[in-house]
C-alpha cells in the first residue's frame, strides 16, 4: 500500500530527526539488545524501573514501553505507576505481554496493567494476545482459530473489547484497532532463533508511536521496517549469532527510500 510505505519512510525520517526518548521498563534478557536497536534506528533509549523514579523519567519520554518478560510484583507496580503518568500526559504506551497465558502471574499482571492505564498498542503472539480476553469475551481461544479470516475477525473483536490497537505477530503480522485490519509480511525465519526479536519489534513500534499519532499506521510501518531489517540481515548472515548483529546493522543502514520500496503492508478487510 503506497501511502503506508510512504508513511513508513516518513516515520523513520522523523525518528532520526527528533531522536525521541523511549522509556523502557522491560525484561533483563533483552535490555541490551533493545537499547541497541533503538540507538541504531536513531531513537534514544532509557531503561529505568525504580518506583521512586519512573514517573519523573516517563514525563520526558516520547513513548513508554512496558514488557513483562522477567516480571515481579515490584516491577509491575512500577509499570502501572509509569503507565498512569504516561496516560495523563498523553504519552503513547506499548505493552508487550511476554508469556501472558503461560502463568497466572503473567496473565494477571498484563490485565492489571491494561486496566490501570490506557494502552495505545499491545504487541504479542497469538496466544499471548488471546490470553488477554475478559471472562465474557466474545472472541475464540487460540485453538479454535483455523483460518486467516477467523484470526482477523477475532483480533478486531478483541481490539474493540480492550479499546486498543493490537499487533499479533508471526510469519505474517496482523494490526487492528477494531475497524481497519492490516497485514505485514516482512520478516525472516532466523528472527525466531534470536531471543527478544518480539520484544525488539515492540520497541521499534514504540519509537514510531513517538512520531506518528495514528497507532495503526505507526505499528504496521514499524513492523514492516523491523521485518525488512530481518530480510536484509538474512542476506548477510545464515546463522543466528551473525544474524542478530546484522539486524542491528540493518536498522541503522535501511533508508526511508528502502522502506518506500520494501514494505509489504496490505489491508486485510
Among candidate residues 126, 120, 173, the one with its CA nearest the CA of residue 154: 126
**In terms of CB distance, is 57 or 159 closer to its own copies?**
57
How many residues bind its own copies (CB under 8 A)? The answer is: 53
Is 44:21 a contact under the CB 8 Å cutoff? yes
The residues near 121 (Cβ < 8 Å, ≥ 6 apart) are 92, 93, 94, 95, 164, 165, 166, 167, 205, 209, 215, 218, 219
Find the binder of its own copies among 1, 6, 18, 29 (CB under 8 A). Answer: 29
Residue by residue, what is the 3-state secondary structure of 184-235? ECCCCHHHHHCCCHHHHHHHHHHHHHCCCCCHHHHHHHHHHHHHHHHHHHHH
Find the binder of its own copies among 103, 179, 267, 269 (CB under 8 A). Answer: 103
Q: Any bridge partners for residue 184, and if so which?
A: 173, 265
If one counts every other C-beta atom within 10 angstroms of the C-beta of residue 36, the result is: 18
Among candidate residues 248, 245, 209, 242, the one with its CA nearest the CA of residue 226: 248
Report in angstroms how near the CB of residue 56 gets to its own copies at its nearest. Answer: 4
CA Rg, the chain, in Å? 17
Find the binder of its own copies among 1, 39, 126, 157 (CB under 8 A). Answer: 39
Interface with its own copies, residue 110, by CB under 8 A: no
C-alpha grid cell, residue 232? 536484509
String marking each residue 245-264 x if it binds its own copies according to CB under 8 A: xxxxxx-xx-----------
The cell 488471546 sits on which residue? 130
**In terms of CB distance, is 30 or 166 closer to its own copies?**
30
Interface with its own copies, residue 81, by CB under 8 A: no
Find the binder of its own copies among 1, 13, 46, 84 (CB under 8 A). Answer: 46
Interface with its own copies, residue 208, by CB under 8 A: no
Interface with its own copies, residue 89, by CB under 8 A: no
Interface with its own copies, residue 200, by CB under 8 A: no
Find the binder of its own copies among 4, 9, 57, 174 (CB under 8 A). Answer: 57
Q: Given its phi and psi angles, is residue 4 left (phi above 0), alpha (psi -120 to 50 degrees) or beta?
A: alpha
The residues near 32 (Cβ < 8 Å, ≥ 6 apart) are none
Q: Any bridge partners for residue 95, and if so which?
A: 66, 122
User: Applying CB under 8 A, which part among 147-155, 165-173, 178-186, 232-240 lies near its own copies?
Assistant: 232-240
Is 157:139 a contact under the CB 8 Å cutoff? yes
**In terms of CB distance, is 50 or 148 closer to its own copies?**
50
Interface with its own copies, residue 50, by CB under 8 A: yes
Interface with its own copies, residue 82, by CB under 8 A: no
Find the binder of its own copies among 1, 6, 16, 70 (CB under 8 A). Answer: 70
**In terms of CB distance, is 43 or 94 closer to its own copies?**
43
Interface with its own copies, residue 85, by CB under 8 A: no
Interface with its own copies, residue 196, by CB under 8 A: yes
Q: What angle, rounded to 10 degrees, do the helices at 31-41 and 240-253 form?
A: 30
- Contact set with its own copies (CB under 8 A): 27-33, 35-36, 39-40, 45-53, 56-57, 60, 69-73, 99, 102-106, 192-196, 238-242, 244-250, 252-253
Amino acid at each position: 500500500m503506497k501511502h503506508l510505505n510512504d508513511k513508513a519512510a516518513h516515520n523513520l525520517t522523523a525518528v532520526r530527526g527528533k531522536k525521541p526518548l523511549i522509556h523502557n521498563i522491560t525484561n533483563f534478557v533483552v535490555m541490551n539488545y533493545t537499547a541497541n536497536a533503538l540507538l541504531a534506528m536513531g531513537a534514544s533509549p532509557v531503561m529505568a524501573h525504580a518506583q521512586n523514579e519512573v514517573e519523573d523519567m516517563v514525563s520526558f519520554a516520547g513513548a513508554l514501553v512496558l514488557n513483562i518478560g522477567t516480571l515481579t510484583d515490584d516491577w509491575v507496580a512500577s509499570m502501572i505507576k509509569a503507565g498512569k503518568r504516561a496516560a495523563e500526559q498523553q504519552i503513547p504506551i506499548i505493552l508487550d505481554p511476554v508469556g501472558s497465558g503461560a502463568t497466572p502471574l503473567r496473565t494477571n499482571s498484563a490485565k492489571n496493567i491494561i486496566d490501570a492505564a490506557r494502552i495505545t498498542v499491545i504487541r504479542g503472539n497469538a496466544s499471548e494476545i488471546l490470553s488477554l480476553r475478559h471472562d465474557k469475551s466474545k472472541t475464540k481461544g487460540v485453538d479454535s482459530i483455523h483460518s486467516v479470516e477467523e484470526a482477523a475477525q477475532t483480533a478486531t473483536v478483541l481490539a474493540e473489547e480492550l479499546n486498543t490497537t493490537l499487533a499479533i505477530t508471526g510469519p505474517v503480522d496482523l494490526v487492528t484497532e477494531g475497524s481497519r485490519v492490516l497485514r505485514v509480511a516482512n520478516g525472516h525465519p532466523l528472527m525466531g532463533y534470536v531471543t527478544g526479536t518480539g520484544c525488539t519489534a515492540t520497541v521499534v513500534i514504540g519509537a514510531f508511536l513517538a512520531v506518528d499519532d495514528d497507532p495503526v499506521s505507526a505499528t504496521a510501518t514499524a513492523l514492516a521496517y523491523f521485518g525488512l531489517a530481518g530480510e536484509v540481515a538474512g542476506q548477510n548472515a545464515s546463522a543466528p549469532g551473525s544474524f542478530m548483529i546484522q539486524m542491528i546493522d540493518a536498522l541503522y543502514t535501511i533508508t526511508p527510500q528502502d522502506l518506500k520500496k520494501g514494505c509489504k503492508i496490505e489491508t486485510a478487510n
